[in-house]
Chains A and B, each alone.
Chain A
Amino acid sequence: MANASPPAVLIEGLTKIFRLPFRKEEVVAVDDLSLEVGAGEVYGLIGPNGSGKSTTMKVLLGLIAPSAGKASIFGLDSADTASRGSVGFLPENPYFYKYLTGSETLAFYGKLCGLSGKQIRRRSEELLELVDLTSARDRRLGGYSKGMLQRIGLAQALVGDPRLVVLDEPTAGVDPAGSRKIRDLVLELKRRGITVILSSHLLEQVQEVCDEVGIIFNGRLVREGKLDDLIAIEDQSEIVLQNASPQLLERIGALVDEEDGAQMLRCGNPRTTLERLFLKAISEGSSQEGEDH
């Protein structure tokens, strides 16, 4: 029987202790953490500041060594440089070389991934198109906005055609429209079958894109599972109706009252999110401006 292919990410009993210089104190950043991410999944790692998310990612990417336990990427030990051949990484608030243009940046990272000149040109065009930066390809990164930097960062993470993409706070400091673009890109990666590990404070975004979520607190994984299972309130049901008359709602209420133990908790208009309202308003504003001109 053929062996099953290894998971995209496997972390087993990971512990990371930092020793403070000139003191006897130690800080346990990650404490016996284990998790597994299957190929093609979008995994959200969430937790408050200082909970150990970034440390876990750094161990996974071979930037720091674990104090105990191990991590692997597609079956290769993460301490092995070869494991990075399948990975793309976008750090939190990255600064790229601001003296390089968008296409020079992709060419540089492409060379590090071992791409030929022809592959680099083709891949750069494709990625600049994907992240909507074709028109800014010859501008130096020093003149890019925060959102553009995050998008070129995402493009450099994808230049080596990775099977796993690790995104650390990809929308930090980006406005809602830019943030939405990045969310759409993550969904596009998911559609292409690329595994994504996403760390974010924006829980609504995590909820929108992730299949599975791990909640990390004080270095420990306190909750993990399929998103739908985790957030479902099992003893409640939801019905959303369109164009329902007050009479129909009254009849539904009466039906609920007839059943023992059942009760209607809420009835009214569902609320949109502030983010959706904002995006709708700016999209209407820009189309209005287009008509005026």
Chain B
Amino acid sequence: MNQEAQDTAISRRHKVFSALRIWAIARNTFTQLVRMKVFYFMLIFSALIIGANLLFLSFTFEQELKILKDVSFGAMSLFASIFAIVGTALLIPKDIEDRTLYTILTKPVPRIEYLLGKLMGILLLLAVSILLMSLLFFTVLYIRQHGILTEKIASFPRQVSDAQIALFREDIFSRGLQPELLLGVLAVFLKAAVAAAVALFVSTFASSTLFTIIVSLVVYFIGHAQSLALDYYFAEGEMPSAAQRFFAGLIGVVFPNFQLFNVTDGLTAGEVVSASLMARLVGLTAFYLTIYSLVSWLIFAKKEL
């Protein structure tokens, strides 16, 4: 066989599992969502944090910076969760409705690869959008903290010494752009990743995008309220029975405890987020992604298309 023929000859050896096929589906999913112009949300996000910046100018600088961080993290978390749920809900039901899924699954693509590719594509979109939002947030915060410093120096009645400027700077900047904020960004991503895995699971048995969105939102809200509910039912000091522990564990697996991911409230209030808490959140996210992907596969593998 000559070189050209060797280059074009297509191997019929089937790979049981192929990372390249998953990556092809992930990239296509990312392109699909990007070309649906989802990044227009950046305009709304920009308006929100610039608006927050302008509205609270009359507050003290501590309050102003805290509000800016609260609003930015809140908006990031909200947008990321909406993307995770709505973006994922759009994928599989639409592929089934449009019969595009037939053209993919009639290629040598195992169903688990299709699901993993879709999940990876949405995670990629979440990562890029959260990165963009963080860049915008950090830029506004950086500009604002320098603005506050300049205003503070200008408003000082006497000539300000270098030592005083250094003190002001430390005081203001310690409440502004700090490396710990990156932990908050990571927590926002992890929470959205779990929400995407929930939506993926729902979409494997749902018959429509709307159903997927509604059920995923219900799980999302229960996930936020479950720790409160469990605290209420298992009153402090009481030893729960084995059945109660099993029930609580089951609830914990079915409805991820999204409240655990809300470390940003503490961060904006100046609390320290421990490395062990972040490691726990990463582990928890990996656990939920694995469990939800496996259950999604079990359902989707048997689905009649």
Contacts and interface: CB of A to CB of B under 8 A. Distances in A.
Interface of A: 58, 61-65, 81-82, 84-97, 99-100, 108-109, 111-116, 118-119, 122-123, 153, 156-157, 160-161, 166
A116 B98 CA distance: 28
B100 A94 contact: yes
Interface of B: 7-8, 10-12, 14-16, 18, 20-21, 24-25, 28, 31-32, 35-36, 98-100, 102-110, 302, 304-305
Name the residue in A87, A91, A92 with the highest tally of chain B Cβ atoms < 10 Å from its Cβ: A91
A89 B103 contact: yes
B115 to A, nearest CB: 14
Contact of B10 (A62, A92, A100, A160): A160
B32 A85 contact: no
A100 B35 CA distance: 9
B102 A91 contact: yes
A109 B10 CA distance: 13
A156 B106 CA distance: 11
B21 A97 contact: no
Contact of B108 (A64, A81, A161): A81
A62 B105 contact: yes
16 contacts: A58-B305, A61-B102, A63-B305, A82-B14, A85-B12, A89-B106, A96-B100, A97-B100, A99-B36, A108-B28, A109-B107, A111-B21, A112-B107, A114-B10, A114-B21, A115-B10
Contact of B99 (A65, A95, A100): A95
Contacts of B304: 63-65
A113 B102 CA distance: 14
B35 A99 contact: yes
Q: Return the 7 tightest CB-CB contacts between A and B, nearest first.
A: A111-B24, A95-B98, A82-B14, A99-B35, A89-B106, A112-B107, A161-B10
A160 B11 CA distance: 9
Contacts, number: 103
A61 to B, nearest CB: 5
B108 A95 contact: no
A99 B305 contact: no
A54 B112 CA distance: 24
A119 to B, nearest CB: 6
Contacts of B18: 114
A123 B304 CA distance: 32
B102 A89 contact: yes
A95 B18 CA distance: 26
A112 B102 contact: no
Contacts of B14: 81-82, 85
A87 B32 contact: no
B49 to A, nearest CB: 30
Contacts of A108: 24, 28
Contact of A112 (B10, B98, B104): B104
Given A58-B305, A108-B28, A113 B7 contact: no
Contacts of A93: 99
A119 B11 CA distance: 11
B7 A97 contact: no
Contacts of A95: 98-100
Contact of B106 (A63, A100, A122): A63
Nearest to A112: B107
B108 A85 contact: yes
A61 B108 CA distance: 10
Given A85-B108, A88-B106, 20 more contacts: A61-B102, A63-B102, A63-B305, A81-B16, A81-B110, A82-B14, A85-B12, A90-B103, A93-B99, A94-B100, A96-B103, A100-B31, A112-B107, A114-B20, A115-B10, A122-B8, A123-B8, A153-B103, A160-B107, A166-B106
Contacts of B32: 97, 99
